[in-house]
A and B are shown apart, each in its own frame.
Chain A
Amino acid sequence: MKIKSFKSGMARWAAGATAGVFAALTVSAALAEDLTVYTAVEAEDLKKYAAKFNESYPDINIKWVRDSTGVVTAKLLAEKNNPQADVVWGLAATSLMLLKAEGMTEGYAPAGVDKLDKKFVDSANPPHWTGMDAWIASVCVNTVEAEAKGLPMPTSWKDLTKPVYAGHVVMPNPNSSGTGFLDVSSWLQMFGEGGGWDFMDGLHKNIAWYTHSGSKPCKQAASGETPIGISFAFRGAKSKAKGAPLEIIIPSEGVGWDMEATAIVKGTKKLAAAQKLVDFTVTMEANEMYNKGYAVVAYPGVAKPVEHYPAGILDAMIDNDFEYAAINRKAILAEWQKRYDSKSEAK
Chain B
Amino acid sequence: MTDTVSTTITTSPAAPIRPTLSRDDIIMRLSMGAIAIFLIFAIILPLYTMLSKSFENKAGDFIGLQNFAEYFSTPALFLSIFNSLEISIIATFIVLITAFIYGYALTRSCIPLKRFFRLVSLVPLLTPSLLGGISLVYWFGNQGVAKGLLMGEKIYGPIGITIGSSYWVFPHVLMIVITALSITDARLYEAAESLRTSKLKTFFTVTLPGCKYGLISAGFVAFTLIFTDFGVPKVIGGNYNMLATDIYKQVIGQQNFQMGAVVSVVLLIPAIIAFTVDRIVQRKQVALLSARAVPYTPKSDMMRDTVLFLFCLIVAIIILGMVGMAQYAALVKFWPYNLTLTLDNYNFDVMDGGGWDAYYNSIRMGLYTAFFGTIVIFFGAYLVEKGRGFGAGRTALHMIAIIPLAVPGMVLGLAYIFFFNNPANPFNFIYGTMAILVLASVTHFYTVSHLTAVTALKQMDPEFESVSQSLKTPFYKTFSRVTVPVCMPAIFDVSIYLFMNAMTTVSAVVFIYASDTTLASIAVLNMDDAGDIAPAAAMALMIAYTCLAARGIHAVITWQLHKKTQAWRAR
Using a CB–CB cutoff of 8 Å, the interface residues on chain A facing chain B are 2-3, 6-7, 17, 21, 24-25, 27, 36, 42-44, 46-47, 63-68, 70-71, 73-75, 77-79, 81-82, 84, 98, 144, 173-178, 208-210, 212-213, 215, 219, 222-226, 235, 238-239, 242-245, 333-334, 337-338, 341-347
Contact = CB atoms under 8 A, between A and B. Distances in A.
Given A44-B352, A176-B249, A344-B83, A224 B337 contact: yes
B485 A223 contact: no
Given A43-B354, A213-B529, A245-B337, 20 more contacts: A6-B485, A21-B368, A21-B372, A43-B353, A46-B352, A65-B514, A67-B510, A67-B522, A71-B511, A77-B255, A81-B421, A84-B421, A209-B157, A210-B239, A212-B248, A243-B334, A337-B76, A338-B76, A342-B75, A344-B239
22 contacts: A6-B485, A21-B368, A36-B514, A43-B526, A44-B352, A46-B353, A78-B257, A78-B421, A84-B514, A208-B156, A209-B239, A219-B531, A223-B336, A225-B141, A225-B142, A238-B531, A239-B531, A243-B334, A245-B337, A333-B254, A341-B76, A347-B239
B253 interface: yes
A326 B421 CA distance: 28
A74 B251 contact: yes
A243 B173 CA distance: 42
A60 to B, nearest CB: 14
A204 to B, nearest CB: 10
B347 interface: no
Interface of B: 74-76, 79-80, 83, 137, 141-143, 154, 156-157, 234, 238-241, 245, 248-249, 251-255, 257, 333-338, 350, 352-354, 364, 368, 371-372, 414, 417-418, 421-423, 428, 431-435, 480-481, 485, 510-511, 513-516, 522-523, 526-527, 529-532, 561, 564-565, 567
Q: Which of A67, A84, A175, A224 has the most CB of B within 10 A?
A: A175
Contacts of A42: 530
A64 to B, nearest CB: 6
Contacts of B335: 223
Question: Interface centre among B154, B418, B421, B423, by most A CB within 10 Å?
Answer: B421
A263 to B, nearest CB: 16
A63 B514 CA distance: 9
B46 to A, nearest CB: 12
Contact of A226 (B74, B142, B248, B530): B142
Nearest to B430: A25
A24 B435 CA distance: 10
Nearest to B77: A337
A269 to B, nearest CB: 13
A243 B531 contact: no
Nearest to B482: A3
A47 B352 contact: yes
Given A25-B435, A74-B252, A3 B481 contact: yes
Nearest to B512: A75
| 10 A-B pairs with least C-beta separation | A43-B352, A70-B252, A63-B515, A176-B253, A209-B238, A342-B76, A78-B417, A341-B76, A175-B249, A337-B76
Contacts of B511: 71, 74-75, 78
Contact of B565 (A2, A98, A224): A2
| Interface residues of B, dominant DSSP | helix
A67 B526 contact: yes
Contact of B143 (A17, A223, A244): A223
A298 B141 CA distance: 40
B196 to A, nearest CB: 40
Contacts of B255: 70, 73-74, 77, 98
Contacts of B372: 21
A44 B530 contact: yes
Contacts of A78: 257, 414, 417-418, 421, 511
Contacts of A47: 352-353
B433 A43 contact: no
Contacts of B414: 74, 78
A250 to B, nearest CB: 20
Given A6-B485, A209-B156, A212-B253, A337 B74 contact: yes
B515 A346 contact: no
A68 B529 contact: yes
A73 B481 CA distance: 51
A11 to B, nearest CB: 9
A144 B337 contact: yes
A98 B522 CA distance: 26
A228 B58 CA distance: 38
B321 to A, nearest CB: 19
B527 A43 contact: yes
A89 to B, nearest CB: 13
B526 A68 contact: yes
B422 A82 contact: yes
Quick one: which of B428, B435, B531 has the most chain A CB within 10 A? B531
A36 B513 CA distance: 13
Nearest to B515: A63
B157 A175 contact: no
Contacts of B428: 82
Nearest to B251: A74
A341 B216 CA distance: 35
A65 B238 CA distance: 30
Nearest to B238: A209
A81 B337 CA distance: 50
Most-contacted residue by chain A among B238, B480, B515 (CB, 10 A):
B515
A63 B516 contact: yes
B134 to A, nearest CB: 10
Given A43-B352, A337-B74, A3 B485 contact: yes
A213 to B, nearest CB: 7
B253 A177 contact: yes
A36 B142 CA distance: 43
B485 A81 contact: no
Contacts of A337: 74, 76
B252 A71 contact: yes
Among A47, A70, A75, A215, the one with the most B-chain Cβ atoms within 10 Å of its Cβ is A75
Nearest to A239: B531
B382 to A, nearest CB: 16
Q: Which of B254, B353, B414, B516 counts the most A-chain CB atoms under 10 A from its CB? A: B254
A219 B134 CA distance: 12
A77 B257 contact: yes
